[in-house]
Amino acid sequence: SKMNVIITKDKVEGGKKAFELVEKAIHSDAAVLGLATGSTPETLYKEMRASNTDYSNLISINLDEYKGLPADHPQSYHTFMQENLFKDKPFKKSFIPDGLGDEDEEVKRYNKIIEEYPIDLQILGIGTNAHIGFNEPGTSFLQETHVEKLTEATINANKRYFESEEDVPKYAFSMGIKSILSAKKILLMAFGESKAEAVHDMLNGPITEQVPASILQTHDDVTVIIDEAAASKL
Ligand code: GLP
């Protein structure tokens, strides 16, 4: 594939490398950053928080939010972004889907936001089943923002953040694959052995809706930053 792959020693080095690329994009006029949650971008956000860069002229648009969680819920992606980035580095405007929003209204509102602020650089993690955002295997590549039913694998992977598996929301608002592909540049990170198979399938497998991240093979400006463990099946 034509994706640019960078292998780092670990996630700390990966976060530093990602930060360099974010800085470079901002210096070449990126005004809208697409942001991701999960443990993967934490090292990048740490670098951003520690930097002298001012983000207050930039727009941020997050990929997804759990359906049914209020913004102030400890496990909401609103709270995650507040804690990991925005409390130290406020943006001019930050958009995240409203987990309590009416399904149809929220989907429309979010698609309009993405249309109004085309994403210059989209940050992505990847699920162990190769989902991106919350686009699970089987999601149409043509989807824009929608409500996604989470798979058992994803609920299982995310239950570590909740008191029990029953507390993990079963649905999420997510940008679609089509929304993600509309970004000018994409920067995907993956760290750890548990991501090795998804990384392999994304880079080298057939392009199929069963492997959501495989569609990135068709985008012409994707950089993938992985650590040695995530690269172990390449
Ligand atoms: C979550 C998020 C994704 C994230 C992925 C991996 O379900 N919706 O945006 O990339 O799963 O999470 P982690 O980075 O914690 O491994």
Q: 131 catalytic, yes or no?
A: yes
The three state secondary structure string of 47-71 is HHHHCCCCCCCCEEEECEEECCCCC
Q: Calculate the alpha carbon distances from 30 to 7, 18, 26, 62, 220 in Å.
A: 24, 15, 5, 16, 17
Give the atom of ligand 1 at the shortest distance from the alpha carbon of 195: 16
Give the atom of ligand 1 at the shortest distance from the alpha carbon of 126: 10
pTM of the model: 0.97
Give the atom of ligand 1 at the shortest distance from the alpha carbon of 150: 7
- Band the pLDDT of 158: cuts 50, 70, 90: very high
CB 182 within 8 A of CB 219: no
pLDDT, tens only, 27-78: 999 999 999 999 999 999 999 999 999 999 999 999 999 999 999 999 999 9
- Confidence check: pLDDT of 220 > 80: yes
Place of tokens 């009416």: 102
The pick from 134, 180, 189 for probing ligand 1's pocket by mutation, whose C-beta has the most ligand atoms within 8 angstroms, reads 134
- Confidence check: pLDDT of 227 > 90: yes
CB 224 within 8 A of CB 6: yes
Question: What's the alpha-carbon Rg for the chain, to the nearest Å?
Answer: 16
pLDDT, tens only, 114-132: 999 999 999 999 999 999 9
Please report the ipTM that was assigned to this predicted complex: 0.96
Q: 201 catalytic, yes or no?
A: no
- Confidence check: pLDDT of 2 > 90: no
Q: Is 63 in the pocket of ligand 1 (CB under 6 A)?
A: yes
Q: Is 129 in the pocket of ligand 1 (CB under 6 A)?
A: no
pLDDT, tens only, 163-218: 999 999 999 999 999 999 999 999 999 999 999 999 999 999 999 999 999 999 99
Q: 136 catalytic, yes or no?
A: yes
pLDDT value of residue 176: 98
Q: What is the whole-number distance in angstroms between the Cα of residue 113 and the centre of ligand 1?
A: 22
Q: 228 catalytic, yes or no?
A: no
Q: Is 64 in the pocket of ligand 1 (CB under 6 A)?
A: yes
CATH of domain 4-172+186-203: 3.40.50.1360
